[in-house]
Structure 1
């Protein structure tokens, strides 16, 4: 399988997705927009993974490649290929599908539980997930549910934590791919956001959660093992 990823900044990488792809002998390629790299040929990829980033989906004047990226995501979805979006990636998918991307009432930064909906339980892709799971967040924006999408998760601080569209498009507001080194990099580059807030943890709370990192990795790997055909 040919998996292509979109990376927006150097410090938001594939995390646990990369070793999974290598261990299953999938071909992995990427577009690093921060390095000015070009888009792939649509025909040559099977799945697209869209990673996170500190920018917003509506900042095309600052990041002009956002326009091309959205157009390509739309083409991938129309071609009935698989897409997974993480955080900013999820917001880009929502925007492409006609939903609104807006400021969330509160920033969510750190480990907070999400509750999976009946929609997730009914999905052959996601039905392994427990009713609730503590997951890692780092976002200030959220999205409305696109028309035709199935709402799969919510948290106390953010109603729209994820959706599935046409069974092969998955948007996750949170970071199941997170590993300790990824969290360290986020803190290094975006630690100025760790201020006061109902849903903002400290650096120590974020990094000293061995069980959280372990369960996130387990969920990410199982999710990838169950990729729809």
Structure 2
């Protein structure tokens, strides 16, 4: 069975509608709590999903786990291992790849419409075009 490591930053944050999709795809899900549980070998899980949280990737001085997670993701991404970042997880991935991550003028929380570019529709993101209505009623456009 394939393994999916789920890195959580809040007890109430979980995979939501992604969980049954991953289970149906044959993944055994393992949750670990950031800043509490030790991070495993970054190359070991078949898939890593890094979830969100109320802090930012640039808050490493107050939350040292941000720096540890970024460095851990740097090793994983350098090895081209399957990784998905959601919210804070995406910030961490961007920073791990050397991108500058900065604050916005307003908070981004929840779902928003998604439009894929031609390269996005030709790659693995095409699976986001499935018919799906998230809990707040905003459908992912086709």
Normalising to structure 1: TM-score of the pair?
A: 0.53
1:54 maps to 54
Instruction: State the distance in 1 between where 2:111 and 2:23 align.
Output: 28
When residues 118 and 27 of structure 1 are mapped into structure 2, their CA distance, relative to the original with a 3 A threshold, is same
The 3 A distance-change label for structure 1 pair 75 and 31 is: same
The answer for the alignment partner of 2:97 in structure 1 is 97
| Structure label with greater radius of gyration | 1
Contact 2:42/2:73 (CA < 8 Å) preserved in 1?
Answer: no
Which ranges in structure 2 are unaligned for 5 or more consecutive residues? none
For residues 9-28 of structure 1, the aligned pairs below 5 Å read 9-28=10-29
Q: Aligned-residue CA RMSD in angstroms? A: 2.7
User: Structure 1 pair 21/59, CA: closer, same or farther in 2 (3 Å)?
Assistant: same
Pairwise CA distance, 1:91: 0.8
Query: Where do 5+ consecutive residues of structure 1 fail to align?
Result: 136-177, 181-205, 220-229
Change over 3 Å in CA distance of 1:134–1:26 after alignment to 2 = closer
Q: What CA distance in whole angstroms lies between the structure 1 residues aligned with 2:62 and 2:77?
A: 26
Equivalences, count:
139
- The TM-score with structure 2 as length reference comes to 0.81
**Structure 1 runs, 4 residues or longer, greater than 6 Å off:** none
In structure 1, what is the Cα distance between the partners aligned to 2:62 and 2:28? 32
Deviations 1:134-185 (Å, cap 9, x if unpaired)? 98xxxxxxxxxxxxxxxxxxxxxxxxxxxxxxxxxxxxxxxxxx6x4xxxxx
SS at match of 1:27: strand
Tell me the distance in 2 between the aligned counterparts of 1:47 and 1:62.
Answer: 28
Superposed displacement of residue 113, structure 1: 2.4
Spell out the pairing of 1:160-175 with structure 2 (5 A cutoff): none
> Which has the larger share of strand?
1
